[in-house]
Homo-oligomer: A and B are copies of this chain.
Amino acid sequence: MIIPTFDDMLTAHERIRPYVHETPVLTSSFLNELTGANLFFKCENFQKAAAFKVRGASNAVFGLSDEQAARGVATHSSGNHALSLSYAAGRRGIPCHVVMPHTAPQAKKDAVIGYGGQITECEPSTTGREAVFAEVQERTGADFVHPYNDPRVIAGQGTCSRELIEQTGGLDAVIAPIGGGGMISGTCLTLSTLASETAIYAAEPEQADDAYRSFKAGRIIADDAPVTVADGLKVPLKDLTWHFVSSHVTDILTASEQEIIDAMRLIWARMKIVMEPSSAVPLATILKNKEVFAGKRVGVIITGGNVDLDKLPWMNS
């Protein structure tokens, strides 16, 4: 296990600057009044590929030697990491191989192709995916970029909270959603050196609360196929992200499906931004734990904006 360092984050930041946005920080007097806190929303929904994951993906892609780069990169995510890796590979002009189940929605396949990725379809099972992924790697020699359990990816994600601290002039706390833990690990990496006084909170759906239970138990607990509207947060912690979560996170807070949907709608209605359900989990947990954040300056990471505009969750609830 290679643990990325603060210097790795600084190097990543210089490396990826030409390919990613320094996203804006928005505030809402309505939401400040509602929560009693002073909230600073870091809008990674405005990021390239509409996801913070382009930071880590770009760091991995642009850190490759020319020789390795020529063989391309590969992953088996079907979410924001696949889009982000496709975007970054496209910017470097190298192949990006994405293994996806043939049952994945056409919209997701189209999005990956739109960003320049090449899809290889597999059966919708772990065995099927692993077999096809091994074949693709074997055939192409592509470098595997894991969605989160990769030191290059975590160093890249850490650039987000560096910007947030600089843009706000300092914070009492930062809160971000937790799935596999890539963003939270990057946040821990950066803040433990840059702003060690800043508390780090992770926010998780109750229905996919494996990180919460891991945190309480002191060891990784993985769930099998949790179901939540926050579809970016279904994956489990891995050794590298567990290292950061167990060392630096102050607490993990959870919210119900309805609380997540209500918070998402509230952000759309009051802040006028399009963001995905996963990004609403932090505000949902702040609203039900007001005493934790009252009177504090709190950074809230809006992790992405990739959402199906034809099927918004409050329309089913």
Contacts and interface: CB of A to CB of B under 8 A. Distances in A.
Interface of A: 24, 26, 45-46, 50, 265, 268-269, 271-275, 305, 309-310, 312, 314-315
A185 B162 CA distance: 43
A45 to B, nearest CB: 5
B265 A309 contact: yes
Given A45-B272, A272-B46, A315 B310 contact: yes
B50 A272 contact: yes
Nearest to A312: B309
A19 to B, nearest CB: 12
Given A50-B272, A274-B268, A314 B309 contact: yes
A24 B271 CA distance: 13
Contact of A273 (B274, B309, B310, B314): B274
B24 A269 contact: no
Contacts of A268: 274, 309
A29 to B, nearest CB: 9
A213 B121 CA distance: 55
5 contacts: A46-B272, A50-B272, A272-B275, A273-B273, A309-B312
A274 to B, nearest CB: 4
The 8 closest A-B pairs by CB, nearest first: A272-B305, A272-B274, A45-B272, A268-B274, A46-B272, A268-B309, A269-B309, A50-B272
A26 B305 CA distance: 16
Contacts of A50: 272
Nearest to A29: B48
Contacts of A273: 272-274
A34 to B, nearest CB: 13
